[in-house]
Amino acid sequence: MRPFWFAVHGIVHAARTERNMRVHLVASILVGIFAWFLPTTRVENIVLFGWVILVIAFELMNTAVERTVDLVTSEVRPLAKQAKDVAAGAVLVASFGAAVTALAVFGPYLLALL
């Protein structure tokens, strides 16, 4: 049970200290609100939920990479920068995929409301 609480503590720490994590959490809440109020299908909701989980998980891993690199060196080193940039790039790719999917799912429903 303790490892579970360690993991929860890590998630809470990331949410408190990382601006981008808070942005992703707000975006996740908005996805949930849209999915609740629009007549999305079960499959659409599962796909959206999958993207939300993926982006949050990538953001957590990005935070872990950044902390680890900072622990190893405080100097500006090319490999350290590359590690941080690649981890951030993974979050960006997942976020882009999530945004495109959200537009594809919500777009027709929102257009129908107009």
List, by residue number, the catalytic residues. 59
The per-residue pLDDT for 13 is 97
CA distance 9 to 35: 28
- If one counts the domains in the chain, the total is 1
**What is the radius of gyration, based on Cα positions, of the chain?**
17
The per-residue pLDDT for 3 is 92
**pTM for the full model?**
0.92
Helix (H, G, I), strand (E, B) or coil at 104: helix
The per-residue pLDDT for 84 is 97
- Containing 17, the helix (H) or strand (E) segment is helix 2-17
* Structural domain for 53, as ranges: 2-113
Segment 14-20 shows an average pLDDT of 97
CA distance 53 to 72: 29
Question: pLDDT per residue over 38-97, tens digit each?
Answer: 999 999 999 999 999 999 999 999 999 999 999 999 898 999 999 999 999 999 999 999
- Helices 42-72 & 2-17, crossing angle to 10 degrees? 80
In the block, tokens 């495109």 appear at 100
The per-residue pLDDT for 20 is 96
CATH number at residue 86: 1.10.287.3610
CA angle, 12 as apex, 11 and 17 as ends, to 5°? 100
